[in-house]
Structure 1
Amino acid sequence: MSSAAVAGTAVEAIPTGTYQLETGRSSVSFTTRHMFGLAGVNGTLRLATGQLVVASPATGSAVSAHAPAVSFSTGNPKRDEHVLSAAFLDAEKNPTLEFQGTELTRDGDIWLAVGTLTAAGVTAPLGLTVTGTRLEGTTVIVTATGSIDRYAHGLVKMKGMAGRRLALTVSTTFTKVSA
């Protein structure tokens, strides 16, 4: 494969092997609602580590990603402090949010990374829809979207004031480290 970028690369065309997350080129952003749905909230999480293992067939692939809970940011320090407190994420007791994608499924042209998200010490199912893949030499760029139900993680305080669901956009860059 040439070093030129291959836009819109099919998932099954990504070369098999193990890829490490490039933290400086990867991010998680989210949107939710608060104040009984009247106002939007945007935020980010910083990915600290991650790995993509591409198998043949692609359905046997796996992905993992970890974000420090303290990287949760909405740009509102008071809100962020509250979310990181024992009332929600309890970042002191649960310092990491972790996604483990254990299966890749396909429905027509749609690929879904099926796995679990551990947040606030509680693990719940999470599916991420792969919205884009691109190859740049030995680097693969993957974007995906999904929705987190905070109630599934036991985060049920402030119903109405804090939205139940967070819409995620995950943008990741992985570099191949082994075949």
Structure 2
Amino acid sequence: MTVASSPSVQAPPSGTYRVLPQVSTVSYSGRHLFGLGTVHATFAVTSGEVQVRDPVAESTVVVHMDPTSFSSGNAKRDRDVVGASLLDCATHPEISFASRGLREEGDHWVLSGTVTAHGTAVPVDVVIDRVSPEVPGMRVHARAGHLDRHAFGITGAKGMVGRYLDLDFDMVAERV
């Protein structure tokens, strides 16, 4: 059964959905060079699960990403980002998001949860602005905006790497 939700975002049928890593991505955008430019990059999704419940406010989401997959199209930058002075992927080999609540706000849903990166968990609100049916289940687009990398203990390369970043989640999940 489809649970009615906000006017522009409809919840998919209740059930368990497995995120398909091969067709799901997390996009990164952040400022660099003292705020003069924007870096766009992606992280590979390694796994994830969506539990759509009735009532929909009790639904949960977990997504895992590989920080070593950071890809901006600039090999030197990518090496620097995954290196010890920034993400330190040798010590912290995973980034994850786990929700702990869902609420309707106007014409969208907000997942409250935690992003864990660099060994630190930080509370984050992720705004779901699109959910659409797609074979084999659904496609979801959501955004975590204005994350502070210093809150995760990632403080290297000041000036060269902006303090704030956005993550866009484009997830395809199949019902299991």
TM-score (normalizing by structure 1): 0.89
Cα distance in 1 for partners of 2:68, 2:80 equals: 11
- CA displacement 1:21-73 (0-9 Å, x = unmatched): 11121111121111111111110001010000011111100000111111111
Count of equivalent residues: 169
C-alpha distance in 1 between matches for 2:136 and 2:53: 15
Question: What's the counterpart of residue 58 of structure 1?
Answer: 56
Deviates more, 1:38-47 or 1:160-169: 160-169
Q: Does 1:162 find its partner at 2:151?
A: no
Q: In 1, are the aligned partners of 2:120 and 2:152 still within 8 Å (CA)?
A: yes
- Where 2:80 maps in the other structure, the secondary structure is helix
Q: Match for residue 37 of structure 2?
A: 39
Aligned partner of 2:114 in structure 1 is 116
C-alpha distance in structure 1 between counterparts of 2:144 and 2:60, whole Å:
17
Alignment check: 8 A CA contact 2:29 2:167 kept: yes
Cα deviation, residue 175, structure 1: 0.5
Counterpart code for 1:143: H
Give 5+ residue unaligned stretches, structure 1: 2-7
> What is residue 149 of structure 1 aligned with on the other side?
148
In the aligned structure 1, how far is the partner of 2:124 from the partner of 2:92? 19
2:67, 2:82 within 8 Å by CA — same for their partners in 1?
A: yes
Deviation at 1:160, TM superposition (A): 2.1
Aligned position for 2:5: none
What amino acid is aligned across from residue 10 of structure 1 in structure 2? Q
Q: Distance in 2 between matches of 1:138 and 1:81?
A: 35
- Do the aligned residues in 2 keep the contact of 1:9 with 1:135 (CA within 8 Å)? no
CA RMSD of aligned residues (A): 1.4
Query: SS of 2:81's equivalent?
Result: helix
Give the counterpart letter for 2:35 in structure 1.
Answer: G
Report the counterpart of residue 10 of structure 1 in structure 2: 10
Provide the C-alpha distance between the structure 2 equivalents of 1:135 and 1:79, rounded to a whole number of angstroms.
37
Deviation at 1:74, TM superposition (A): 1.2
Q: CA 1:9–1:124 in structure 2 vs 1: closer, same or farther (change >3 Å)?
A: closer
d(CA) in 1 for partners of 2:32, 2:142: 24
CA distance in 2 between counterparts of 1:97 and 1:110 reads 25
- Residue identity opposite 2:14 in structure 1: T
Q: 2-side partners of 1:115 and 1:96: how far apart?
A: 16
Name 1:135's counterpart in structure 2: 133
Q: Could you say what secondary structure the match of 2:156 adopts?
A: coil
Question: Structure 1 runs of 4+ off > 6 angstroms?
Answer: none
CA distance in 1, matches of 2:161, 2:136: 41
Among candidates 68, 85, 102, match of residue 104 of structure 1? 102
Distance 1:170 1:16 in 2: 21
1:74 is matched with which residue: 72, 75, 81?
72
Distance in 1 (alpha carbons) for counterparts of 2:102 and 2:138: 16
- Bigger share in strand: 2
